[in-house]
Structure 1
Amino acid sequence: MTSAPKSSPPIRAVPGLGFVAGCVISTWIDAATLATRTPVAYILIAHVPPRRPGETTESIEEGLMGMVDGMKLRPASERVPITGARLGIRGPFVALDYGNPGGTIRLPRTEEAWRAHALRGSPVCIAVGLDPIPPGASQDTVGDYLARVSAADRLYLGATTVRAR
């Protein structure tokens, strides 16, 4: 008797820029994490609750998981993978390659210290949260959000760097 072959995980499409327009993106530097004792820059990507025609909680989660797959992120409960050089920085503008060959995400309002941190080759952590988050969330709201989605195993992480020109 032979065992059935293991099934592969589903292949999820990396969403287009229309989906990304509904994402909430936040950046910050954590001054010193417990694990590394060095500053880490963060990018959080989450989505607002369903609001467009045909959009559902399930379709939003499918799109976010497509981004997770496209960037090769792993659950926060696992070791953080290195996802390759995914950042482009030109002056005050930062773009993230999220796995869609048709475009990148332009990050909003990165601080000069955040960009300098990334340009030095220091760690940048990409975090994708599957639960909805309100637009314009405060720093405290983002902190609470991260604690909640991490505890529920609905947060995916990866480490990236800046691409060489």
Structure 2
Amino acid sequence: MNGTLTKQPSRATGVTPGLLCSVVVSTWAEVTAAGPVAFLLIGHPPARRQGETAESIEQQMLGLSAALDLTEPSETLRHVGNRVILLGTSGALLTIAGAPYSLRLPPVGAEWSRMVSEGAPVCILLGLDPIPPHTDEKATQEYLGRGLLSGRVRMGATAVMDPRESVGTAP
């Protein structure tokens, strides 16, 4: 599912409405050795617009990675601030530091929402290589495996924002 946006007050360099509307977003939940984790994969489809290239898309994705404060797989996974806003039992937003928009996630499902609302971390995975829309679970896992081994995925941990936090002041 493609992301949608909601307006916020400031601006992050390189994070555009066009980028946020074109990303491919997947969510899933797992119980890992470290406990329950909600996952969020952000990818981009192959170049398809006039003037768009793999290199230009990668630069935009690196800009989004920087705005989310994500790290390379070889670095220690770190908490990038509480960035998730839950919208009922199946909707959510991901805030982006300094951006005038939040990324609306596709329906996350009741289990993902419950885990996050109960304090489970959200592992953000941002892929730099194109990922076709409507990729199935097996292809997604293969994509992540290749990306993690080659250093073409950026990562970070986040959590649900306290409802009293201002959307415009997310880290």
Q: What is the TM-score with the length of structure 1 in the denominator?
A: 0.87
In structure 1, distance between residues paired with 2:144 and 2:44: 13
Deviation at 1:111, TM superposition (A): 1.0
Pairing of 1:31-50 with structure 2 (within 5 A) = 31-33=31-33, 36=34, 38-50=35-47
1:62 lines up with 2:90 in the alignment: no
Would the aligned equivalents of 1:84 and 1:160 in 2 still touch at CA under 8 Å? yes
Match of 1:98 among 96, 111, 121: 96
Q: What is the aligned partner in structure 1 of residue 107 from structure 2?
A: 109
Q: What is the TM-score with the length of structure 2 in the denominator?
A: 0.84
Moved over 6 A (4+): none
Q: What is the aligned partner in structure 2 of residue 4 from structure 1?
A: none
Q: What is the aligned partner in structure 1 of residue 27 from structure 2?
A: 27
Would the aligned equivalents of 1:16 and 1:100 in 2 still touch at CA under 8 Å? no
Q: Matched residue pairs, number?
A: 151
Root-mean-square deviation (CA, aligned residues, Å) is 1.3
Shift in CA distance, 14/116, structure 1 to aligned 2, threshold 3 Å:
farther
Unaligned runs of 5+ in 2: 1-11, 164-171
In structure 2, distance between residues paired with 1:69 and 1:148: 21
In structure 1, distance between residues paired with 2:87 and 2:142: 32
Paired residue secondary structure (1:85)? coil
Give the letter aligned to residue 52 of structure 2: E
Would the aligned equivalents of 1:41 and 1:124 in 2 still touch at CA under 8 Å? yes
Q: What is the aligned partner in structure 1 of residue 5 from structure 2?
A: none
In structure 1, distance between residues paired with 2:97 and 2:160: 15
